[in-house]
Chain A
Amino acid sequence: MAFSSDLDQITRAAAGDPAAVRALVNRYSPGVLSLATRMLSDRGEAEDVTQETFIRAWKALPDWEPRAKFSTWLHRVALNLCYDRLRKRRESLPGELPDLADTRLAPHEALDQSQRVRAIEAAIGALPERQSAALTLCALQGHSQAEAAEIMDVSVEALESLLARARRTLRAHLLEGSQSA
């Protein structure tokens, strides 16, 4: 669907056509930023990853060969940059195991919508990184199974397993939170 128009826009963007550049940015930056935000739970870092992703994209455009969808390639670059940052975070805190953020609501807190959203965001951010990526790509961004698997460089079966574990953890965590409220 967007494949051929992607190629046309990529070709024009590579030549510096401002309209094509803006079209690519408008079309793909929300998905890239959203993925990075969910993965990193940090808006500033997510914006840095988005910028780095697009800088790499601009460099790649002149030699772009449509072996994969541009969207898939772009999200894979972004995801790998997120993995790099998460690894550096772990390395900067040697000996510390990643804690699950406490997304449960305190008893006095009402379960209003914004609190639910924050609790889910925190719970997704606290998932192991590949589970978080699988959930974000499939459940939040609506990528097809094949696309999400390609972005993550895993089989669809492995993706399904990651999703099952992510949803189970999220459900348990959120259920626990609502019961304690």
Chain B
Amino acid sequence: MTEDRLIELIESWGADPSAFPEAERAAARALLAANPARFAAAMAEARALDEALARMPDVLPSAALTEALVASAPKPKRAGGGFRLPKFAPWAPASGAAALAAGLFMGLMVAPTASADSDTDDVQALLEEAIGYDPAALSEGIVE
């Protein structure tokens, strides 16, 4: 640590050696203690500025600014709100099949009975397969 370097430190970091760079702090303190008169003027000037700066009031945000900053932040994700995709309903395919079967059944009931027997048998079989019982039997009241 040279005298010139110590002057530089005082002029840069102020009169408090604890503000000096750590690597040079101990050597600077030792030199200051060894010859305080040599650095008294530099220390006094630096101290006056340090004290003037220390008297500067804090700059504090207003309540309005604080609220504006908070309001600009990300919002919490709401558990129940917003658009949601419909969930998969396991009964949906079954209801579709039931609707299909009901449509076929009604169509058969109101269709002209003069259609070909072979076609009627085919439709009958298809219906039985779709709804699980013979609709003709139901219409005759024999389904258990």
Chain A interfacial positions (CB closer than 8 Å to B) = 13-18, 21-22, 25-26, 29-30, 33-34, 37-38, 46-47, 50-51, 54-55, 58, 61-62, 113, 116-117, 120-121, 135, 138-140, 145, 156, 160-161, 163-164, 167-168, 170-171, 174
Query: Which 4 A-B residue pairs are closest in the complex by CB-CB distance?
Result: A16-B76, A34-B59, A21-B73, A164-B12
**Pair count A-B, CB < 8 A:** 102
For the complex, what is the distance from the CA of A18 to the CA of B71, rounded to whole Å?
9
The interface residues of chain A lying within 8 Å CB-to-CB of B75 are: 16
Residues 63-81 of B, flagged 1 when their CB comes within 8 A of A and 0 if not, give 0011011101111110000
Known: A34-B59, A167-B12; 4 extra A-B contacts, CB below 8 A, are: A46-B59, A113-B55, A120-B52, A139-B53
A-B contact pairs, 27 of them (CB 8 A): A13-B73, A15-B74, A16-B76, A18-B73, A25-B70, A29-B66, A30-B60, A33-B65, A51-B68, A54-B69, A58-B73, A116-B52, A116-B55, A117-B57, A120-B52, A120-B56, A121-B56, A135-B53, A139-B53, A140-B56, A160-B13, A164-B12, A167-B46, A167-B49, A171-B45, A171-B48, A171-B49
